[in-house]
Amino acid sequence: MEIINCKIKNLTFEENNGKINEILPTIVESGYLKINGGNIKNIDIENIIFNDGSLGLSNLNQTESCSIIRSTLNNVVISHCEFNNYFNYIENKISSKPNQLFFNHCSFSISTFFETKFNNTTRFTNCNFNKAVSFQFVDNEISGDFKFIACDFHKFTDFDKSKIHKLRLEKIKFHDFVSFQETYFDIIEIDKTNFEKGAFFDDIQIKKISHCDRRTIRTIKQQLQKTENRIDYNRFRVYEFNAYREDIKKKLKEFEKDKDHLNHRVREPIQLKRDAFILWISDIVSEYGTDWKRALKFTLYSGLILYSLFFICENYEYKINLFNWDNFTRFISGLFRFFLVTDFFNPLDTDRTYLTNPLSWLILILGKIFIAFGIYEMIQSFRKFKA
């Protein structure tokens, strides 16, 4: 069967005693092409324009190959079909809204969806991809809600260089490698998905990363770690920490509403608040050990502020003129000694004497802690590309 360069209003093929009958209604408001059952070996649909119409393929169990190419398809349902040789869905477009595309309980051999524009609502449910499949250069950046639910991909799967508004993978099994290299998403969701051999997420871009859940971010991070992609791994490590902070906020709000939580989870809110504080400090200081410049600024600014308080505390009884050279050198010399985290002697005294003012002691110890923490975070930032 071959349909090329047609404008279809309504056309239905149905099996009747082993034969295919052609039914052509005279007047319809929207086009519909339906092929239901029948012993059809090959289907070739090319350059078809549906005027707000639909395409339906169902119960095709002996079809060797199917090609749907460079057509405008607004509503498509392909259900309970087996394509034993190849299935091509290439360079197709949409023209009206709303538009939908459903693949349900289908089995594919070699299949390609190369450089096509899927419908705004696209679903693959309970489908088996038995051989290599390509979704390269899919272009649904502006709109496109894709869901793959309970599907099995048995061979290499390729989403490289695709642009998709929203993608959800739920209960998916990738038995072979899958590649998302240089892909762009507004939102991506990965839930209960198994990457048996691994996934390549090199140079993936997610615009609305704050809308992605922590499970998705952690899954991508783990796969980046497996492929030893340290650069993208560090990016997603930061994303995961930020997502965890948002989860903590939500959980703490839930605890406030839960009147019985003290009976069985009394320590959990305390632990969550500690985690939130640590993450907040780490983000401020060095963006979780990834920004050495921020860590250096934190070390210098916090040390200088605390040293200035220390200097005032130690000299509050005296009138100090910093424009005096002796006072200035004393201030600078003490500043350098203040930054030595192992030196707990009075930094303003030339001799090795201890402080006597309790408030000065408190400021000195706080200063050493802040400076040591800043230096540690700076070292961590320099080591972010190390194994």
Q: Domain ranges for the chain, please list them.
A: 2-180, 208-286, 292-382
Distance of CA 310 to the CA centre of its chain: 46
- pLDDT (0 to 100) of residue 62: 79
- pTM of the predicted structure, to 2 decimals: 0.81
| DSSP 8-state symbol, 96 | S
- Give the Cα separation of 297 and 286 in Å (integer): 9
DSSP 143-167: EEEEEEES-EE-S-EE-TT-EEEEE
- pLDDT (0 to 100) of residue 19: 43
- pLDDT (0 to 100) of residue 387: 55
pLDDT tens readout for residues 277-333: 999 999 999 988 888 999 999 999 999 999 999 988 988 776 666 667 777 788 888
The terminus-to-terminus CA distance of the chain in angstroms comes to: 57
Please list the residues that pair with 50 across neighbouring strands: 8
- pLDDT (0 to 100) of residue 29: 39
- Give the Cα separation of 224 and 233 in Å (integer): 5
Q: Write out residues in the chain with pLDDT < 50, as ranges.
A: 16-29
Q: What own/partner pairs with CB < 8 Å and gap ≥ 24 does 121-130 have?
A: 121/145, 122/146, 122/147, 123/147, 123/149, 124/148, 124/149, 124/151, 125/149, 125/150, 125/151, 126/150, 126/151, 127/103, 127/151, 127/152, 128/152, 128/154, 129/153, 129/154, 129/155, 129/157, 130/154, 130/155
| DSSP 8-state symbol, 141 | E
Structure tokens at 235: 């990016």
For the chain, the C-alpha Rg in angstroms (whole number) is 32
Please list the residues that pair with 22 across neighbouring strands: 13
- pLDDT (0 to 100) of residue 26: 32
Quickly tell me which residue has 């169902």 as its tokens: 58
- pLDDT (0 to 100) of residue 9: 60
- pLDDT (0 to 100) of residue 22: 43
